[in-house]
Amino acid sequence: MNIPCCLIFLTTLVAAARMLVAGETKVESLFDGTTLEGWTSVGSAEWRAEDGVLVGGQDGDPKRSGLIHTKDTFKDFDLQLEFMIDEHGKYNSGVYLRNTPGERRRTGYQINLGRGAADEPVGLFLSEWLDKGDAEDKIRKPKEWNTLRIRARGPHIEAWLNGEKIVDYTDPKPTPELLQEGTLAFQTYGAEGHAGWVKFRNIKIQKL
State the DSSP code for 181.
-
How far is it, in rounded angstroms, from Cα 158 to Cα 165?
8
Q: What pTM was estimated for this model as a whole?
A: 0.87
Give pLDDT, residue 21.
Answer: 46
Mean pLDDT of the chain: 91
Q: Is 113 exposed, middle or buried (0-12, 13-18, 19+ CB in 10 A)?
A: buried
**Residue 65: which residues within 8 A CB-CB, separation 6 or more?**
43, 44, 45, 58, 187, 188, 189, 190
How far does CA 99 lie from the centroid of its chain? 12
Amino acid letter at 124? L
SS3 content of the chain, % helix, strand, coil (to 5): 15, 45, 40
Architecture of the 26-207 domain: Sandwich (2.60)
pLDDT, one tens digit for every residue, the chain (208 residues): 554 544 444 444 455 455 444 556 799 999 999 999 999 999 999 999 999 999 999 999 999 999 999 999 999 999 999 999 999 999 999 999 999 999 999 999 999 999 999 999 999 999 999 999 999 999 999 999 999 999 999 999 999 999 999 999 999 999 999 999 999 999 999 999 999 999 999 999 999 9
How far does CA 193 lie from the centroid of its chain? 26
Q: Is 116 helix (H, G, I), strand (E, B) or coil?
A: helix
How far is it, in rounded angstroms, from Cα 197 to Cα 56?
6
**Residue 152: which residues within 8 A CB-CB, separation 6 or more?**
76, 77, 79, 97, 98, 109, 158
Residue extents of the structural domains in the chain: 26-207
